[in-house]
Amino acid sequence: MKKILFMLSLVGVLSLSLFGSQINKEYRKEIQSSKFLKEVAKKINKNLPILIDPMTKLVLVTASYKNLNYVYTITGEKYYSKIKSKDFTNYVIKKTCHNEKSLIFIGNGIQLNFYYYDINRNLLNGILVKPIYCDYKEF
């Protein structure tokens, strides 16, 4: 129950940020801080690993100043070439820019980084989604 309340309050407070100019610079600095983002990552990590789809598992979320990093493991070699493709990169950027929860962070100048590894921990693709990719200015 605590976890649900935290996430609801986080989404509620941060959703105000979608109105950019209404949020003061101090508030935005707090959201961008390593401390705040590391707390968000810590809360998410408590529920990991989680299967996103039959081939994708979210295994870790880390944070640093103005960055949230999502680490995935991909199962099934037949998907490796797809994950490495430019089409997949564009797909992830588009989906991220249209995801309400992601926009809470992006709208406050947070860059989202998605790292996809094979089962042997070899990097298949690293996708950076900057606020400007989603029509938000950099802060």
- DSSP sequence for 96-131: HHT-HHHHHHHTTT-EEEEEEE-TT--EEEEEEE-G
pLDDT at position 58: 97
Q: Is 79 a domain residue?
A: yes
Residue 83 has phi, psi (to 5 degrees) of: -65, -35
pLDDT tens, 87-129? 999 999 999 999 999 998 998 889 999 999 999 999 999 999 9
Q: How many domains does the chain have?
A: 1
Taking every pair of Cα atoms in the chain, the longest distance, rounded to a whole number of angstroms, is 48
Averaged pLDDT for residues 27-42 = 83
- Kindly report the CATH number assigned to the domain that includes residue 92: 3.30.300.250
pTM: 0.78
Whether the per-residue pLDDT at 17 is higher than 60: the answer is no
C-alpha dihedral (53, 62, 96, 11), degrees to nearest 10: 100
Whether the per-residue pLDDT at 38 is higher than 60: the answer is yes
Domain that holds residue 110: 2-134
First to last CA, the chain: 34
The pair of three-digit structure tokens given for residue 92, joined into one six-digit string: 């992830």
Q: Is 139 a domain residue?
A: no
pLDDT tens, 39-83? 999 999 999 999 999 999 999 999 998 999 999 999 988 888 889
